[in-house]
Amino acid sequence: MAESGQVDQLHGRTVIDPDGQKIGRINQVWVDDHTGAPMWATVHTGLFGAKETFVPIRQGRPAAGGELQVPVSKDRVKDAPRVDPENGHIDERQQDALNHYYGMDVAPNRGDQAGRQAAAQDTQRERDQRVHGQDSVTRSEEHLNVGTERVETGHVRLRKVVVTEQQQVSVPVSHEEVRVVREPISPEDRRRGDQRIGEEELEVTLHGERPVVETETVPVERVGLDTETVTEEQKVGGQVRKERIEVEDDSQAGRTPADQERRRPGPGAGR
Spell out the per-residue pLDDT of the chain, length 271, in tens. Answer: 455 456 777 888 888 999 988 988 888 888 887 888 888 889 877 655 567 889 998 888 888 888 889 999 988 888 888 888 777 778 888 888 888 998 876 544 444 444 445 555 555 555 555 545 556 788 899 888 888 888 888 989 999 999 999 999 999 999 999 999 998 888 887 777 667 777 888 899 999 999 999 999 999 999 998 888 889 888 888 898 998 998 888 876 666 555 555 555 544 444 4
CA–CA distances in Å: residue 36 to residues 4, 40, 50, 97: 6, 12, 28, 21
Q: At how many degrees (to 10) do helices 92-102 and 112-132 cross?
A: 120
Cα separation of 213 and 267, whole Å?
A: 93
Cα separation of 97 and 86, whole Å?
A: 16
Asked whether the beta carbons of 107 and 30 are under 8 A apart, the reply is no
| Arch. (CATH architecture) of 7-125 | Roll (2.30)
Our CA angle for 93, 77, 44, nearest 5°, is 100
Cα separation of 42 and 80, whole Å?
A: 11
Per residue in 249-264, is it b (16+ CB within 10 Å) or e — as a string? Answer: eeeeeeeeeeeeeeee
